[in-house]
A and B are shown apart, each in its own frame.
Chain A
Amino acid sequence: MSTSSDLTLRVLGTSVTLIEPLRQAAMTDLGFNIEYQVLSGVGAQQTAVLSPDSYDLYDQWFHSVELLWTTGAIQPIETNLITAWPRLSDLSTRGFLNPSDRQPQGIKPTDQLYVQPNGALGASPTAQISMLPTVHNVDSFGYDPNSRDPSQAGVSESWGWLFDPIWHGKCGLLSDPAIGALDVALAASAAGLIRFENLGNLTIEEIDALMALLVDHKKSSHFKHFWATSSESEALMTQRRTLIATLWSPAVFTIKSSGTPIRNAAPIEGYRAWHGGMCLSSHVDTEHRDAAYAYMNWWLSGKAGAAMARQGYYMSELEGTRSCLSDIEWDYLYEGEPAAQDLTDMAGRTYARAGTKRDGGSYRRRLSNIAVWNTLMDEHNYLVRRWNEFLNS
């Protein structure tokens, strides 16, 4: 493959992975220009399906890959052109770390990974994939441990706490329908308020029941705060407007670095998991295609994995990531060991104090405790409409 230095590779995605230091590092290492188009999750999905000629690579979540495949916006990625493919995590290529792990609900990323001979996406391995698996993580909520009822000190952390009156008016929720609704469904289920047959594929009645519950709690001001970006969730917690909120790892790390008391829960019911990746636009020419493969290979070579790790995310390729982290960082971030010294992120902020452990433990421990994968449900269309009605109630 060869690319010219005046070529510009256009990458569409969200702020989760499209961060400026990585763009600069990739341009330096690869020798061509890279443009990031950073949008909200839904904004990136809309652009991806409606304007497939406006990007060369799409960098987002696996649960959106079906949308792009269905509209013909993307083309298969050849795994033999991905240098690190044989070394990717079993979670990313097979769907689990250990066969004995908790069986998650929802659609596993690997269920839509491989291009089948009939052109559909499936879990049976082939040499072509819809999306190159990259960053992933498990999400839950964070809370100020000092705001808990001291008499409950020994009780396991639970999604049901989002409905606990002790945090009335102090609970923050993510406003994205696909992900936010799963968070509250986990919470309603854990609190024993609604029983769901399958959290990964809610029925009309279950959605109606969930929304009625949410509207009631919004009208009573139990749910008063909503966030769309990680920085909004950080502001809510550091300003003490929320004491418990669904959170993503970068927000947890930032809140920790600010000195605000925060604990990232490891819910007894399991985490909500997600997996990111990159798709190749169906509109790229040969030169941009080569550049796109070069960029994808670069992403799996270590620097990006290390940068992602320092904000709490995991990478599908572990060897390269480990080579770009110090042993102390690796032990804290991936192994769940106590930090042997203060650890800082790319901005120089301390996300872990010496002697502390990562909430939830090691990569293996956290990723083997998945309750549900982020999923576009059958009734996603209905869910989105009802969710927006809830937000506007």
Chain B
Amino acid sequence: MMNDKSVAARAKGSKDEMNGGEDNHRHLYDAVFELLRVRIADGRLPDGARLKEGPIATILNVSRAPVRRALVMLADERLVCAADGQGYIVGDKPTAPVFRLKDLDLVLKPGGAFDVGRGATATPVITALREEIAACLPFGTYRLLEARISDHFGVSRTIVREVLIRLLDQGLIEKDTKSHWIAGPLTARSTREALELRRLLAPSALTSGAHVLDRAHLEKLAEQARSFLAAPETATPARVDDLEHFMHRNLLQNGTNTRVTAVLGQNLTPFVICRAFRGRFGTQSDQRLLADYVRVLDLLISGSFEAASTELSRHLDGLTDQMLRKLRVLSVLPAPETAPYLAMVH
């Protein structure tokens, strides 16, 4: 996680060490670029969110130049698009009305040690590790081998440790009593507890943030879910994964209680069960889930936020049993092949 002081200190340190503002800026725009790219990738900056130089520079305590450069780089990668002189909008095409992120500072400062200065190298490693861990997590307990991660990605051990700390922050891995980095086991209990937590927190997060949701986007997603129900062959695992991610992450991120929002964002591990199950068996078992999504989205579109929240709660009630059944199925399947830096413990 990032804090203002660390960025400021880095700016100052870079200037002293490198004796030049240009180098300093180059370092910073890379860092800002990576931070924004991560937030877009993890959904905290959703499609339609407006990004403006000034507020971002203020939040990060840097000058506007590196932010401007970072936004241009994001536009080059089609992660954002220019918005008629009003900054940029996340996504590859302008949408209106756009998401208003009144808590942009919290999105960019989620409460931990995020060093933007090293993000340029750490981010692809984090993304790869997160995907690899999610794919194998339902199948056992794995140890992450620092040296092999370093070799595999060609990054320093310092970067690897930073990556691992960030994954630790996200609740995806932990350290055992021997100080080994461990992913898993994904147990019925941890799944049940994580979903119980969501059932307690998600409905209120949805209600309190529902008024700023982009109705057009919700309509698009509701239509998509309806089309999946009508033509199940179009519901590819990746598409349902994306919709699920939206329903359980993006939809809840505008809640007024930022601590709750942060907890919900870090409490998504059980969904790896659904993804692994879809990866093996397709989306045939997702009909009920999709019907639930349609109901929640329709209620949000009609402005019935409390009813939508109740529907989400009901959905989460039924999700525990479904997930535990799917976890039991996964338990009889052979574990997938894993990357060389993951060693199965049991």
Contact = CB atoms under 8 A, between A and B. Distances in A.
Q: Do these two chains really belong together in a complex?
A: yes
A220 interface: no
A382 B187 contact: yes
Contacts, number: 64
B20 interface: no
A381 B285 contact: no
A231 interface: no
The 6 closest A-B pairs by CB, nearest first: A381-B331, A389-B346, A378-B188, A385-B346, A70-B325, A45-B332
Interface in B300-346: 324-334, 345-346
A300 B247 CA distance: 49
Contact of A42 (B138, B189, B281, B332): B332
Contacts of A42: 332
A6 to B, nearest CB: 32
Contacts of B346: 385-386, 388-389
A70 B286 CA distance: 11
A49 interface: yes
A70 B185 contact: no
B285 A385 contact: no
B280 A50 contact: yes
A49 B325 contact: no
Contacts of B141: 385
B328 A50 contact: no
17 contacts: A42-B332, A45-B332, A46-B334, A49-B333, A50-B280, A50-B333, A67-B332, A70-B325, A72-B281, A378-B324, A381-B186, A381-B328, A382-B185, A382-B187, A384-B331, A385-B140, A388-B346
B187 A70 contact: no
A384 B141 CA distance: 11
Given A379-B187, A382-B185, A49 B329 contact: yes
Interface string A197-236: 0000001100000000000000000000000000000000
A380 interface: yes
Interface residues of B, number: 25
Nearest to B282: A72
B281 A49 contact: yes
B284 interface: yes
A337 interface: no
Contacts of B186: 381
B281 to A, nearest CB: 5
Contacts of A49: 281, 329, 332-333
B328 A376 contact: yes
A159 B279 CA distance: 42
A42 B334 CA distance: 10
A66 interface: yes
Contacts of A72: 281, 284-285
A374 to B, nearest CB: 14
A71 interface: yes
A53 B325 CA distance: 22
A64 B331 CA distance: 12
Contact of A204 (B187, B280, B327): B187
Contacts of A386: 346
Interface in A335-378: 376, 378
Interface in A11-36: none
Pick from A64, A67, A388 the residue with the most CB of B within 10 Å. A67
A141 B53 CA distance: 74
B279 to A, nearest CB: 12
A204 B188 CA distance: 9
A45 B284 CA distance: 19
A49 B277 CA distance: 11
A72 B189 CA distance: 25
Nearest to B322: A70
A272 B227 CA distance: 48
B67 to A, nearest CB: 46
B284 A382 contact: no
Nearest to A387: B346
Contact of B188 (A64, A67, A379, A384): A379
Contacts of B334: 46
Contacts of B188: 378-379, 381-382
A204 B6 CA distance: 41
Contacts of A71: 281, 285, 329
Contacts of B345: 389
A378 B321 CA distance: 10
Nearest to A70: B325
Contact of A46 (B140, B189, B332): B332
A203 B328 contact: no
B139 to A, nearest CB: 8
A385 to B, nearest CB: 4
A72 B285 CA distance: 7
Interface string B259-298: 0000000000000000000001100110000000000000
Contact of A203 (B189, B326, B327, B329): B189
A52 B186 CA distance: 27
Contacts of A64: 332
